[in-house]
């Protein structure tokens, strides 16, 4: 996460991220030894929730796309606000207004 370690963030702030919802669209299969690249695009950052899109690539071919809703949780495992510095950094990466190509390798 932006050069930060998730465990370090949790130790420093008490906050952690957990996937709350994930929708996956598979275009073509991958096999165990494939070298894959995961590309992440932040869609939105709100008080205790992140929305992101991840695409999985094998070379120049997109093989899957995920839409994620990620919750920020505190030490009690209950929702908590995303720490301010993390929210600021993630908001700067948010690309909700950029168009997304509908093409895929399938």
pLDDT given at position 106 = 52
- 83: tokens are 């720490």
In a domain, 50, yes or no: yes
pLDDT digits (tens, 9 = 90+) for 43-96: 999 999 999 999 999 999 999 999 999 999 999 999 999 988 888 888 887 764
User: Residue 82 carries which DSSP code?
Assistant: P
In a domain, 99, yes or no: no
CA distance 86 to 32: 33
pTM of the model: 0.77
User: Residue 30 carries which DSSP code?
Assistant: -
In a domain, 32, yes or no: yes
In a domain, 63, yes or no: yes
CA distance 4 to 39: 17
**Residue 65 near residue 24 (C-beta atoms within 8 A):** yes
In a domain, 73, yes or no: yes
CATH code of 82's domain: 3.10.129.10
pLDDT given at position 86 = 86
In a domain, 39, yes or no: yes
Q: Mean of the pLDDT values across residues 7-29? A: 92
| Count of domains forming the chain | 1
pLDDT-based confidence at residue 1 (cuts at 50, 70, 90): very low
In a domain, 89, yes or no: yes
Q: Is residue 98 predicted with pLDDT exceeding 70?
A: no
């Amino acid at each position: 996460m932006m050069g930060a370690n998730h465990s370090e963030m949790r130790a420093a702030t008490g906050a952690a991220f957990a996937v709350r919802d994930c929708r996956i669209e598979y275009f073509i299969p991958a096999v165990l030894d494939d070298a894959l690249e995961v590309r992440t695009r932040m869609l939105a950052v709100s008080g205790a929730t992140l929305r992101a899109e991840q695409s999985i690539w094998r070379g120049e071919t997109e093989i899957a796309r995920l839409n994620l809703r990620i919750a920020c949780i505190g030490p009690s495992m209950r929702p908590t606000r995303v720490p301010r510095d993390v929210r600021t950094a993630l908001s700067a990466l948010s690309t909700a207004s950029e168009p997304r190509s509908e093409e895929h390798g399938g």
